[in-house]
Structure 1
Amino acid sequence: MNRLVLCACLLAGVAANLVENNATPPKIVDATFLQKQVDLLSLYFHINEPLQEPKLKAIAQSWSLTNNIDKYSNVTAIKLYSNLIDYGMLLPRSVPFLILDPSHQFEAVTLFNVLQSSKDYQTFYNTAVHLRDIVNEGLFVYVMAAATVHHPETQGIIVPPLYEVFPSYYHNAEVMNIAHRVNTHGKRLVDHYPQTYTWEDNMVIRWNTTVWPYLSNSDISTFYYSQDYALNTLYYNNHLTSPFWLSSQNGPLMKYNRGEYFWFFNKQLTNRYYFERLSNGLSEIPEIGSDFVEEGFASGLVYQNGIPFPVRPDELRIDQPKYSELLEKIKTCERRIRDAIELGYVVSGSGEKINLRTPEAINVLGNIIEGNVDSPNIDFYGSLINTWKSLLGNSIIQGHVFHKQHIPLLIPAAIENYQTCMRDPAFYMIWKRALNFFTLWSSYLPSHTDEILSVPTVVIKKVESDKLVTYFENKYLNVTNALYLNERESKVVEDEISVLVQQPQLTNKIFTVRVHVNSDVAKKVVVRFFLAPKYDSNGYEIPLHLNTENVFQLDQFVYQLPVGEHVIKRESTGNMYTIDQWYSSYEVYLKALNALQGKGQFVIDTKQFFVGYPRRLMLPKGRVGGMPFNLFVHISDYVAPETPYGQGVNPEQTFGIGTGARRMTAYPLGFPFDRPLRQYQVETLTNFYVHDVLIHHKPTPEIVVPQ
């Protein structure tokens, strides 16, 4: 008994040292919030079909933008969008929507301004219901999600994950074809076909049986990363929180250091992809040549209307006349950005010189490379990333067909959509090229000094970790929302069947890292874990100053360090920026509806982070016999961030996205690897430790994974 009490006290002591930034207790929401949640989720139900509920139909028919113009703060947007409707100048329904296209973007931004200017929730809701069957489905979902994230009256409302709203962005054509067949046949022929089976009340499609046409893709061995449904949705969600067309001064959520975050976020994803290439014995991420692109890509995806995504063939020649305009634009953008970095300043639209020789200038450089509206001179420096996407998507042959001689009808490639761009290996080629600009910029900054890097009173004695193991497990994704309702279903506004797709996904066993430290004084510190490959694709050990470009930040947390010997224990589930799984929209709807009817409670989970990284992808696949990686551990003094955590926002509902209120410290993102770090700089650091680890992959015999 005494031993149990002692163990409990020790565990409590360890937990007490951890400074939880996201320790806001779960909140039981009221009826007003519940009604909003039910209302807004209903609008995504079978988005490709008209509204089914009589109540919603009545609102849609009775509401008028112009008759209620006093209920909006942006009168110009209301008049403009009303004119687009009256003159039939909206993007038609059932055709692909592309936010990168200027015409599509104009309509989307105008609609966002309409919703955002709603003076109260009821106006916001009535407007959305009214426009739901008028606006293009893809454009409506995009704007609706962005407006929900940013409007002050909808903070905390759970936006359904896009893989449930538009499953066709996440599953190949055969999967969707089988799903429609199952929807027609019902359960009577499910067991007749080898691709399907029945599981409880669900009909399940075996994804593994549908990938044989795509096994020739060079990236098939890394599909579990590049095609991961949660990772691609994360990229889409991240864009919605800070879209390139939305100013940092627009809306309640300020886009705090958006350029810096743009760099850090994409560097993290690119480096993780590099880890998977190494895990599968592939070469370095290929360079984009000046005349051709070696790796092609066939996504196998089709749009909801049956149009296939464009294909990029292997060794695509980009020095053809039809690509000359885009290629020249890219060369001009890159030359101007490189010149600005080497000169040490950029020129704003008004002719002002903006210094690039400061650490804070990474925000300026990030805005320029993204080409967002906060770029100091977007007309001059362009939109580099998006222009590359337009070129390598190979969809330029489209774009000569117009609706009403004004609205272009397009067939965007996977790389051009935020929800599918990570599937294409060219995405990482583009980012490898773009990250070189940040590396060039950082080379002009002074190296981190010993005073910044060191904490003389802290000594890391050793680092230990559990065995790092990855494996595949099947996940089940619901595709029912893409299947058309039959006559009976449309009357009751409810699906009679549920169709799931069984797909193998990489995951890892929960692990703990133990950092043995000795501290001369009690102090609050920041502990950071980074992962980097020990060897490159040719088997050569990567020196520290080069590996700076490859690090992936595993975790960062604030810790109250006591005096003397101490062991910092950190479990992999503790990372506040990661999530296990977004809630299913079906589950959220039922829970909210039941709570609204007095059947249970609906609790806001603060760990359901809208832009949370999938926890199961913290580790790369590794290899069966173990793959060597370096685990870097760095402890720094705690420096309070400019915006205290949670200030100006309600952490229970807004999560502080884009405000800076989720920044743990004032240090730059990725510190101390935000600048090249050389071996001589860390040799004498007592608060920096390099721990060699092996990442083991454990095959799962019953799960067949394409190789």
Structure 2
Amino acid sequence: MARLVLCVVALLVAGGFADPTKKALPQKIADPVFLQKQLQLSELFYHIHEPVFIPDQLKIVESWDIEKSIEHYTNVTAVKIFGELWENGLLPRAVPFTILNPDHRFEAVTLFNVLYSAKDYDTFYKTAVFFRQHINEGVFVYVLSAAILHRHDTQGLIVPPIYEIFPSFFHNGEIMTTAQRLNTHGISNIEHFPSTFVWNDNIVIRWNETVWPYVYEDSLAYFTNDHELNTYYYNMHLTYPFWLGGETCPLVKDRRGEWFWFVHKQIVARYYLERLSNGQTEIPELGTDVVQHGYWSGLLHHNGIPYPVRPNHYHLLQPHLVDELTEIDDYERRIRDAIDRGYVETVHGERIDIRTPEAIDVLGNIIEANVDSPNTQLYKDFVTLWKVVLGNSVVHDHVEWYQHHVPLVLPSVLEQYQTSLRDPAFYMIWKRVLNLFTYWQRQLPLYKPEELALPSVKIQKVEVDKLVTYFEHSYVNVTNHLHLTKHERTGVVDEVSVLVQRPQLNHKVYQVRVNVKSEAAKTVVVRLFLAPKYDSRGYEIPLHQNTENFVLLDQWTHDLPVGDSVIKRDSNENVYMVEHWPSHVTVYEEAENAVHGKGQFVLDQTHRFNGFPQRLALPRGRVGGMPFVLVVYISEYRAPKVPYGTGFDPALSLGVGSGAVRMTDDPLGYPFNRPVHYWQVRDLHNFWIQDVTIYHKPTPEIDVPYTE
């Protein structure tokens, strides 16, 4: 923010989010109305732990009354329930919030419904300002972010990355304590903090020199603790929250259950590639007896309370866990029984056939137990129960707090979407859950070779540039977490800017060249997949067993001419991946400059909210090289039932809930959405299997800027 932060960090926004890229995405120039909305909503995320102090917002807080303005909302019931919550006690500020707790969720969903049902933007904004002052800051950020994503009049507005709003979710307690001290003392006493240095008027804390007490024996911390990877998972949850859907927001149109499966399949497969790169064993199986590996995150909740710890050799057969484990066993058995019977029972006793490939959407809905599940009374949420059990979290059901009874919870990292990928137990849970999907997929008929074939197209050769990964420094701004002085509140400005220098995995841009011969001019879909060649014991993995390990690297449509041609694809052209999310500071400054005629604010989806971090597309590999399997698959283009972009502006919106967000009508992950045996593809000319090697190089060997 131009008024709010004195220094903008160029490295955080290298290239500028407003600059066109070579990705073929539609663009639009923001008009004054959009810019005003962007500025107003950006200010609401500024120093979220502080009470409202911006003069314009204070006037709204003092004058706006939600209950007296009930005619400005379409959901009258939600407004009345909010009035009851307001009278009986909301979750207080400065205590942890988790959407997985039923009481917390009831409050959050009620507040979302109030925001979402505002009849116009003015009502929406005034309600948001009122909430900013009076409700728990964790609840506020969650419901406001969700409302911005799903309201029609806020499409395209940029929500700040969660790692800038709440830095304490991404940096350990020592770093955040050091940042607070630096905020108090400023640059003048920096010599007393050996882990810091000054760079371009910013105080920088070296992450890798302060983290060592907390990630002992964890060679995968650079991946599981990656701030952008965890933000991606949080963003995907906000895009398709399990509690949102039905008539309120028709997320079912997007086949949300299939997305639920595919996102988790990709994450677990990607994690497995990283484990193998570091010489680790298979992902441990999760049982109901003992979890060998404990977890200590080193994180502090923003009120200073440490996250719960799971000790090593954690025994699950304890009296206080008996009920949860019994429920887990029961709920998982109901899913397996449904798969065996071939149908799911609705709440009205009707049967839905799940012996068809399209039924993965139904299966995903009942496993997630989202609001679009046909029967949430029978098929219940066992994934959250696993998180509660393995997270070792603490719940005080109803504590007296300022004369009100409120549920106070100390959630583990597993119980918050922005931190859950940090704990290795997350991948154990999801390996177990994905096994249910695999069990169902094995009930389906295998693809016939002729179903996978494209007779008129022949892949003649595939060339891939050398695949090289390396570590680089990133600089994450944590200033939003720091306390403001009276002078800073009065001037709406940060006098001290604190960054955290973090090592992060990246890879050199590479190109894939597919030499193709086509007998006819046609539009095709090209897909690139990556999987391990060997398991952790050194045995080569057969194709049909490797199906669950394939990560979709890229997918795009291509117009093939008649005859020989070369399909060229650079690794940075994937429209479903993002180079970075724009900094909160930069978005505000760009919008403010545009308001005053100093440049344009360009809108497109190169910074798409639910994009996967581009730099994490490849696993680390090894210094001497590590073999992987690359699959190139070219299939007939099958247009989606609803053309992409129908009902929304692709330059502004992700189109969530439109049913028009698919590139093709193929299943997600096709053809690896079912087991694929070598005999099915060995004679196909449009299916190419090739070994590739990924090399990891020390940073000095890579041409990257030196930052100190």
Query: TM-score under structure 1 normalisation?
Result: 0.94
Structure 1 pair 253–374 and aligned structure 2 pair: CA distance change class (3 A) = closer
> Deviations for 1:410-440, whole angstroms, at most 9, x for unmatched residues?
1000000000000000000001001111111
Match of 1:664 in 2: 663
Q: Is residue 60 of structure 1 aligned with residue 61 of structure 2?
A: yes
Deviation at 1:517, TM superposition (A): 1.0
Deviation at 1:551, TM superposition (A): 0.4
Instruction: Within 5 Å, give how 1:289-300 maps onto structure 2.
Output: 289-300=287-298
Report if the CA contact (8 A) 2:207-2:502 is conserved. Answer: yes
Match of 1:106 in 2: 106
Query: Secondary structure of 2:377's partner?
Result: helix
Which sits farther off after the overlay, 545-554 or 655-664? 655-664
Distance 2:330 2:84 in 1: 37
Match of 1:185 in 2: 185
Q: Is residue 164 of structure 1 aligned with residue 164 of structure 2?
A: yes
Report if the CA contact (8 A) 2:521-2:561 is conserved. Answer: yes
Q: Is residue 200 of structure 1 aligned with residue 200 of structure 2?
A: yes
Q: Is residue 133 of structure 1 aligned with residue 168 of structure 2?
A: no
Distance 1:374 1:140 in 2: 25
Match of 2:321 in 1: 323
Distance 1:477 1:95 in 2: 24
Structure 1 pair 24–209 and aligned structure 2 pair: CA distance change class (3 A) = closer
Query: Secondary structure of 1:549's partner?
Result: helix
Deviation at 1:399, TM superposition (A): 4.4
> Deviations for 1:101-128, whole angstroms, at most 9, x for unmatched residues?
1111001000000001001000000011
Report if the CA contact (8 A) 2:366-2:375 is conserved. Answer: yes
Match of 2:512 in 1: 513
> Deviations for 1:383-434, whole angstroms, at most 9, x for unmatched residues?
0211111111111465464545642101000000000000000000001001
Instruction: Within 5 Å, give how 1:577-588 maps onto structure 2.
Output: 577-588=576-587
Query: Secondary structure of 2:684's partner?
Result: coil
Deviation at 1:330, TM superposition (A): 0.3
Q: Is residue 284 of structure 1 aligned with residue 282 of structure 2?
A: yes
Structure 1 pair 480–577 and aligned structure 2 pair: CA distance change class (3 A) = same
Distance 1:402 1:171 in 2: 31
Q: Is residue 236 of structure 1 aligned with residue 237 of structure 2?
A: no
Report if the CA contact (8 A) 2:258-2:668 is conserved. Answer: yes
Match of 1:490 in 2: 489
> Deviations for 1:182-203, whole angstroms, at most 9, x for unmatched residues?
0011001113321111001100
Structure 1 pair 640–21 and aligned structure 2 pair: CA distance change class (3 A) = farther
Match of 1:4 in 2: none
Deviation at 1:450, TM superposition (A): 2.1
> Deviations for 1:620-656, whole angstroms, at most 9, x for unmatched residues?
0000011100000100000001110101111111122
Query: Secondary structure of 2:610's partner?
Result: coil
> Deviations for 1:662-690, whole angstroms, at most 9, x for unmatched residues?
21110000000000000100111110000
Distance 1:668 1:22 in 2: 24
Structure 1 pair 451–22 and aligned structure 2 pair: CA distance change class (3 A) = farther
Q: Note the aligned Cα RMSD (angstroms).
A: 1.6
Distance 2:550 2:586 in 1: 37
Distance 1:402 1:277 in 2: 46
Structure 1 pair 208–333 and aligned structure 2 pair: CA distance change class (3 A) = same
Instruction: Within 5 Å, give how 1:410-449 maps onto structure 2.
Output: 410-449=409-448
Q: Which amino acid aligns with 1:661?
A: A
Distance 1:543 1:406 in 2: 57
Give the counterpart of 1:312 among 290, 310, 313.
310
Deviation at 1:80, TM superposition (A): 1.2
Match of 1:16 in 2: none
Match of 1:345 in 2: 343
Report if the CA contact (8 A) 1:288-1:430 is conserved. Answer: yes
Query: TM-score under structure 2 normalisation?
Result: 0.94
Structure 1 pair 145–646 and aligned structure 2 pair: CA distance change class (3 A) = same
> Deviations for 1:285-332, whole angstroms, at most 9, x for unmatched residues?
001122111111111100111000000111110111110011001000
Distance 2:318 2:467 in 1: 48
Structure 1 pair 107–185 and aligned structure 2 pair: CA distance change class (3 A) = same
Match of 2:45 in 1: 44
Q: Which amino acid aligns with 2:456?
A: T
Distance 1:173 1:335 in 2: 41
Structure 1 pair 537–383 and aligned structure 2 pair: CA distance change class (3 A) = same
Query: Secondary structure of 2:549's partner?
Result: coil
Match of 2:606 in 1: 607
Match of 1:632 in 2: 631
Match of 2:691 in 1: 692
Structure 1 pair 658–630 and aligned structure 2 pair: CA distance change class (3 A) = farther
Structure 1 pair 136–186 and aligned structure 2 pair: CA distance change class (3 A) = same
Distance 1:397 1:481 in 2: 28
Report if the CA contact (8 A) 1:579-1:613 is conserved. Answer: yes
Match of 1:466 in 2: 465
Distance 1:523 1:78 in 2: 54
Report if the CA contact (8 A) 1:402-1:408 is conserved. Answer: no
Report if the CA contact (8 A) 2:394-2:409 is conserved. Answer: no
Match of 2:18 in 1: none
5+ long unaligned stretches in structure 2: 1-20
Q: Is residue 122 of structure 1 aligned with residue 122 of structure 2?
A: yes
Report if the CA contact (8 A) 1:370-1:386 is conserved. Answer: no
Which sits farther off after the overlay, 61-70 or 135-144? 61-70
Match of 1:377 in 2: 375
Report if the CA contact (8 A) 2:150-2:656 is conserved. Answer: no
Distance 2:649 2:578 in 1: 20
Deviation at 1:577, TM superposition (A): 0.0
Q: Which amino acid aligns with 2:362?
A: V
Query: Secondary structure of 1:456's partner?
Result: coil
Report if the CA contact (8 A) 2:397-2:406 is conserved. Answer: no
Match of 2:84 in 1: 83
Distance 1:614 1:658 in 2: 23
Deviation at 1:52, TM superposition (A): 1.3
Distance 1:57 1:510 in 2: 48
Deviation at 1:611, TM superposition (A): 0.2
Distance 1:525 1:413 in 2: 46
Structure 1 pair 284–524 and aligned structure 2 pair: CA distance change class (3 A) = same
Q: Is residue 246 of structure 1 aligned with residue 244 of structure 2?
A: yes
Deviation at 1:67, TM superposition (A): 1.9
Instruction: Within 5 Å, give how 1:675-686 maps onto structure 2.
Output: 675-686=674-685
Deviation at 1:255, TM superposition (A): 4.9
Deviation at 1:658, TM superposition (A): 4.1
Distance 1:41 1:398 in 2: 34
Query: Secondary structure of 2:220's partner?
Result: helix
Distance 1:308 1:71 in 2: 42
Identity %: 56
Report if the CA contact (8 A) 2:396-2:407 is conserved. Answer: no
Structure 1 pair 336–21 and aligned structure 2 pair: CA distance change class (3 A) = farther
Match of 1:147 in 2: 147
Report if the CA contact (8 A) 2:250-2:657 is conserved. Answer: no
Query: Secondary structure of 2:123's partner?
Result: helix
5+ long unaligned stretches in structure 1: 1-19
Q: Which amino acid aligns with 1:263?
A: W
Q: Which amino acid aligns with 2:38?
A: Q
> Deviations for 1:453-492, whole angstroms, at most 9, x for unmatched residues?
0001111111110000000000000000000001111110
Distance 2:650 2:338 in 1: 39
Report if the CA contact (8 A) 1:242-1:255 is conserved. Answer: no
Match of 1:11 in 2: none
Report if the CA contact (8 A) 1:96-1:303 is conserved. Answer: yes
Query: Secondary structure of 1:381's partner?
Result: coil
Query: Secondary structure of 1:174's partner?
Result: helix
Structure 1 pair 261–598 and aligned structure 2 pair: CA distance change class (3 A) = same
> Deviations for 1:313-370, whole angstroms, at most 9, x for unmatched residues?
1111011111001100100011111111111111111111111101111001111111
